[in-house]
Structure 1
Amino acid sequence: MYSYDKFDQAIVNARVEEFRDQARRRLAGELTEDQFKPLRLTNGLYLQLHAYMLRVAVPYGTLSGPQMRMLGSIARKYDKGYGHFTTRQNIQYNWIKLEDAADILADLATVEMHAIQTSGNCIRNISADQYAGVAADEITDPRPWAELLRQWSSFHPEFSYLPRKFKIAVIASTQDRAAMRLHDIGLELVERDGVVGARVFVGGGMGRTPMVAPEIRDFVTEDEIISYVEACLRVYNRYGRRDNKYKARIKILVHELGADEYRRQVEEEFAQMKALKLDPPVEELARIRAHFADPAYETGLSDTIDRSDPDFALWVDQNVAAHKQPGYSIVNISLKPVGGIPGDASADQIELMADLAERYSLNELRVTHAQNIVLPYVKTADLKALWTELDAAGLAPANLDLITDIIACPGLDYCSLANARSIPVAQKIAKRFTDSGKEKTIGELKLKISGCINACGHHHAGHIGILGVDRKGTENYQLLLGGSGAEDASLGTITGPGFDENGIVDAIEKVTDLYLAQREGDERFLDTYRRLGMAPFKEVIYG
């Protein structure tokens, strides 16, 4: 994984001290909240319903053991003993005191971490496939490109004050595990005639106007990816709406111009960029790639797994993925226990995962956009010992990609933008389907919940999505069906009138019961829905 050089560290250290002075002046009354707000937001500090919330950057979701341990220490020392892992592969702390914020940033800096550009109208945390570098189906490791994009975008003077926030994802597999086409720019690394490059998708996103990004270019060589991305952003920065925040995202510009016209303008800008030769030299990419070289894998290891313990065997089947290296496995740690808060982990659990990464996963962890954690380098022979420790800590739910592996935003319990609570709904759904024993029978089903139209819970992209709204002062939940954030990206459709908290759980059970009665062969819920259409589901819900 990438390590800071002296310039990285100096920049982060300077930012900490700059913010320390800004916070001091706010606490002393020398700055008003309106004056302080843009300063704190550039350092990832939000003011929520009950306290400040700090969002920490985790570039492309990758962490070392010491970095993860620091996150646990911060949760214990400065928060209420836990952290919340997010759909941008970051972590948030919901109970931060302003007088502690600079100290937290200073602690983060000691392990090469920060909260810069986790908020504001800038290029946010670059996200990537959580299986990057270890997946058998990728054509190359996308993390060097994610890191190059991170370095290029950090403090980029032209893109520090964009019309609106901007999100980029990079994958290198035909299987999309990062919801790439629901980003402002999505890059899929591909190989054409022996040359590595990228398909470029622009104008995806969720929120009040969800859109799946169209393909803007079918191939740009890897030595010109940065110039092409910069050309995409220049057109947006020039014409993106700044007078209306609801129409400020690049998806609106691409939609209103049309993909063809936007593409024409990008190509025109790209031609000028190429003439300026602003792409980094190939030696820089090679330097970065060296940080992501394969580890010294042991060879001759067995892939045999003793499945005599049925609970362990169930966890292996559900939460362990195939690795490109024989004798190794990819382990998914679910942060979705029944009755828990999706994405939350206690300080003890975070520190344990740091310890387990150091002992079992070559000192590396990944945060997933589904709010779980991955250990990417586990010897298959160590799976049973690892599972035993995870199980003792409440970190071994065998529910990856099942109906209880719910993505949920913090909702009205924490967020000042929310209209409804997300957490209690997620908890009730998980309990209902665990108690009924239907969870495994239903199989793969991506359920996602947002507490407001901003869609931090990705409800538009759920096979089943839930949107909490305010209906005349009462929390109301709309049900959506048919979304996907994967390679078959699609947006969910609202079924009809919404429900109260208990009613939405009942409605989901009716929907899944119909699926079980109508599915053919090994069809997933999404496949059955697409085959049958909305009508039979609407009928069973509303009669």
Structure 2
Amino acid sequence: MYQYTSFDRQFVHQRAAQFRDQLERNLAGELADDDFRPLRLQNGWYIQRHAPMLRVAIPYGELSSRQLRQAARIARELDRGFGHFTTRQNLQYNWIPLPKSADAMDLLAEVDMHGIQTSGNCIRNITSDVYAGIAPDEIVDPRPYCEILRQWSTLHPEFAFLPRKFKIAVSGSLEDRAAIAWHDVGLQLLKNEAGEVGFKVLVGGGMGRTPVIGTVVNEFVRWQQILVYLEAIVRVYNRFGRRDNLYKARIKILVKAEGQKFIDAVNTEFAKILEHDVDGREHIIPVSELERVSRHFETPAGVRPATTGFDPNRTGPAPAAFVRWLERNVRGHRVPGYRAVTLSLKRPGQAPGDVTASQMEAAATIADRYSLGELRVSHEQNLMLPWVREADLFSVWHAAKDAGFATPNIGLLTDLIACPGGDFCALANARSIPVAASITERFDDLDALYDIGDIDLHISGCMNSCGHHHTGHIGILGVDKDGSEWYQVSVAGSDGTTLSGASVPGKVIGPSFSADEVPDVVEALIDTYLRQRAVGERFIDTARRLGVAPFRTAADAVRRDTAAPATAAAKAAPVAEPAEAL
């Protein structure tokens, strides 16, 4: 993990002190709310439906046990005892009173954490593959480059007030587990025929009202020049982005409208920056800097590769529950004798991604004991232990089971993604958490879940798509229909992983449904798949082979006689992304 330097720590503490001064002046009436708003936003503070919401950055998903314990302390002392992990590797608190917000910033700074640029019209938290640095299919470890990007983009004066928010994701493996095509900029690390490291660059991906897959604008940018190329992209966006129209301000709209003209403008700006770099070093990442940062991501000293293989039945038949957990929650590792273990945060009675202070502390203890004090936050809103010895797997299973993290459902229907929705978010058209709970309760039989197999179900409470409904094999979107909560359903979306195939938005299967109907609709879609799947065929494959029609027919059959007839309001997309969109 990257360890803060004295400069890094001084910077974060100064930022926290600056925020405290701004807060005190605001509470004293000396700094108007309109003037305070952009300041709190760029420190991660929103004003939500019931209370302020703090979004804490977890850069590229890496988290230490010490940091997680401090997060638990903040949850217990300042919030209502829990936090929420998001799809973009952040941690959110929903109940910290604004007068205590500076206290939270001070506590975060104590463990090298902050909320800087987790909101506002700036470059947001850099995200990456949860298995970065340990994946067997990795080409290049993306974490050193993510850290360099984080440092470059933090408080970059030219990019602090962009037309809209700006998100970057980086992948370094054969399989794209970072959903790079769905981001404003997606970076794929690769090597050319000469063995040189560089990036394929995609621009203009995004969800929201207009789901767009990113466009490849450069097949290979040398790693030394990636900051230059990103600077060129953001400069063109900063200059030509639609500041006159909030709903057309994302870079995806500019790329879609301008096409090759946008690409040409970026490449012209790129050449111009390099031309004015007199000594050839001003905008280039020095080898020495990459080496300095990379040293933080070397294999930890405590890792000892094993020479013998892992056999769960070595001392006798393994418990069936343990075998299921191994199959679903444990993945391969680049280091012989080690595995990556997911701690599932999905279980009945708890919203997807939610974690209590006690659970945070329990996860930190497990990480200290079995994963060298390191955890990761996944896109799927779970926690992952990256350095577990195969010899410890049985003990880890017991510890995870005791803490409530051992549900063997990773990749299955109940490992669903959901945003906080209308229970917390002022932007939501509908609630997500009760719908997620209803689906989890409906599909509570593990044997049935295993028969259904791999499937991604994603729920968003509004078109801002914080639950990434566009990418779900089954996607559920909360919409407003005459002041009531309704839900659009789509099928066959993809985030770009090997299981899902090429990134593509799901197709809406018809008019919206009431909240009570949604579990029945999901069950009807699953039943259609089970009846018509080929041998070994997964839901996403069947949905693509059959198309939307049979799923629409199955869903329509669910619609109750008492339901209101479909109207234009039910079919139309809800209100688009507002000014303080998440």
TM-score, normalisation: structure 2: 0.92
Q: Contact 2:471 / 2:504 at 8 angstroms: preserved in 1? A: yes
Partner of 2:576: none
Stretch moving more, 29-38 or 399-408 = 29-38
Partner of 2:33: 33
Partner of 1:290: 295
The aligned runs of 1:151-190 (5 Å cut-off) are 151-190=151-190
**Distance in 2, Cα, partners of 1:164 & 1:461:** 22
Partner of 1:75: 75
**What is the CA distance between 1:437 and its match in structure 2?**
4.6
**What is the CA distance between 1:104 and its match in structure 2?**
0.9
Partner of 2:242: 241
**Distance in 1, Cα, partners of 2:512 & 2:115:** 37
Q: Deviations over 1:177-211 (max 9, x none)?
A: 11111000000101112111111110001111111
**Distance in 1, Cα, partners of 2:306 & 2:436:** 44
**What is the CA distance between 1:339 and its match in structure 2?**
2.8
**What is the CA distance between 1:223 and its match in structure 2?**
1.1
**Distance in 2, Cα, partners of 1:436 & 1:18:** 51
**Distance in 1, Cα, partners of 2:554 & 2:57:** 44
Partner of 2:556: 542
Q: Deviations over 1:421-470 (max 9, x none)?
A: 00000010011011485211111100000001111000001010000011
> What secondary structure does 1:95 align onto?
coil
**Distance in 2, Cα, partners of 1:36 & 1:154:** 19
Q: Contact 2:312 / 2:318 at 8 angstroms: preserved in 1? A: no
Partner of 1:451: 461
Which among 419, 432, 435 is matched to residue 429 of structure 2? 419
**What is the CA distance between 1:381 and its match in structure 2?**
1.0
> What secondary structure does 1:449 align onto?
strand
Partner of 2:261: 261
Q: Deviations over 1:465-494 (max 9, x none)?
A: 000011001100000111011242110111
Partner of 2:580: none
The aligned runs of 1:179-258 (5 Å cut-off) are 179-193=179-193, 194-258=195-259
Partner of 1:94: 94
**Distance in 2, Cα, partners of 1:308 & 1:354:** 27
**Distance in 2, Cα, partners of 1:130 & 1:45:** 25
**What is the CA distance between 1:305 and its match in structure 2?**
2.0
**Distance in 2, Cα, partners of 1:198 & 1:39:** 33
Q: How many residues align?
A: 542
**Distance in 2, Cα, partners of 1:338 & 1:384:** 24
The aligned runs of 1:374-523 (5 Å cut-off) are 374-435=384-445, 437-487=447-497, 488-523=502-537
**Distance in 2, Cα, partners of 1:204 & 1:521:** 34
Q: Deviations over 1:266-325 (max 9, x none)?
A: 111111122224122121111101110112321335422236111111111001000111
Q: Contact 2:486 / 2:515 at 8 angstroms: preserved in 1? A: yes
Structure 1 residue 349 corresponds to structure 2 residue 359: yes
Q: Contact 2:139 / 2:189 at 8 angstroms: preserved in 1? A: yes
**Distance in 2, Cα, partners of 1:321 & 1:345:** 23
Paired amino acid for 1:292: F
Partner of 2:125: 125
Q: Deviations over 1:382-422 (max 9, x none)?
A: 11111111111111111111110111000000000001000
Paired amino acid for 1:385: S
Q: Deviations over 1:195-253 (max 9, x none)?
A: 11111110001111111101111111111111111111111111001111110100000
**Distance in 1, Cα, partners of 2:45 & 2:514:** 33
**Distance in 1, Cα, partners of 2:306 & 2:464:** 50
Partner of 1:308: 318
Stretch moving more, 28-37 or 108-117 = 28-37
**What is the CA distance between 1:174 and its match in structure 2?**
2.0
Paired amino acid for 2:537: E
Q: Contact 2:458 / 2:475 at 8 angstroms: preserved in 1? A: yes
Q: Deviations over 1:116-142 (max 9, x none)?
A: 101100000000000000000011110
**Distance in 2, Cα, partners of 1:380 & 1:335:** 22
Stretch moving more, 218-227 or 420-429 = 218-227
**Distance in 2, Cα, partners of 1:147 & 1:287:** 11
Q: Contact 1:305 / 1:380 at 8 angstroms: preserved in 2? A: no
**Distance in 1, Cα, partners of 2:307 & 2:24:** 56
**Distance in 1, Cα, partners of 2:220 & 2:516:** 48
Residue ranges of structure 2 left out of the alignment (5+ in a row): 558-582
The aligned runs of 1:295-374 (5 Å cut-off) are 295-296=300-301, 297-302=303-308, 303-306=310-313, 308-374=318-384
Paired amino acid for 1:347: A
> What secondary structure does 1:291 align onto?
helix
Paired amino acid for 1:66: R
Paired amino acid for 1:56: V
Q: Contact 1:50 / 1:414 at 8 angstroms: preserved in 2? A: yes
> What secondary structure does 2:513 align onto?
coil
Q: Contact 1:305 / 1:381 at 8 angstroms: preserved in 2? A: no
Q: Contact 1:12 / 1:114 at 8 angstroms: preserved in 2? A: yes
**Distance in 2, Cα, partners of 1:4 & 1:242:** 36
**Distance in 2, Cα, partners of 1:305 & 1:328:** 14
Q: Contact 2:139 / 2:174 at 8 angstroms: preserved in 1? A: no
Paired amino acid for 2:534: E
Paired amino acid for 1:267: N
Paired amino acid for 1:451: G
**Distance in 2, Cα, partners of 1:430 & 1:440:** 14
Q: Deviations over 1:317-372 (max 9, x none)?
A: 00100011111000011111123200001101101111111111111110011111
**Distance in 1, Cα, partners of 2:427 & 2:538:** 34
Q: Contact 1:61 / 1:90 at 8 angstroms: preserved in 2? A: yes
**What is the CA distance between 1:107 and its match in structure 2?**
0.9
**What is the CA distance between 1:152 and its match in structure 2?**
0.6
**What is the CA distance between 1:265 and its match in structure 2?**
1.1
Q: Contact 1:339 / 1:430 at 8 angstroms: preserved in 2? A: no
Q: Contact 1:366 / 1:375 at 8 angstroms: preserved in 2? A: yes
**Distance in 1, Cα, partners of 2:534 & 2:255:** 39
**Distance in 1, Cα, partners of 2:49 & 2:135:** 40
**Distance in 1, Cα, partners of 2:39 & 2:423:** 25
**Distance in 1, Cα, partners of 2:146 & 2:415:** 27
RMSD, aligned CA: 1.2
TM-score, normalisation: structure 1: 0.98
The aligned runs of 1:104-123 (5 Å cut-off) are 104-123=104-123
**What is the CA distance between 1:10 and its match in structure 2?**
1.3
Which among 517, 528, 532 is matched to residue 546 of structure 2? 532
Q: Contact 1:461 / 1:492 at 8 angstroms: preserved in 2? A: yes
**Distance in 1, Cα, partners of 2:199 & 2:39:** 35
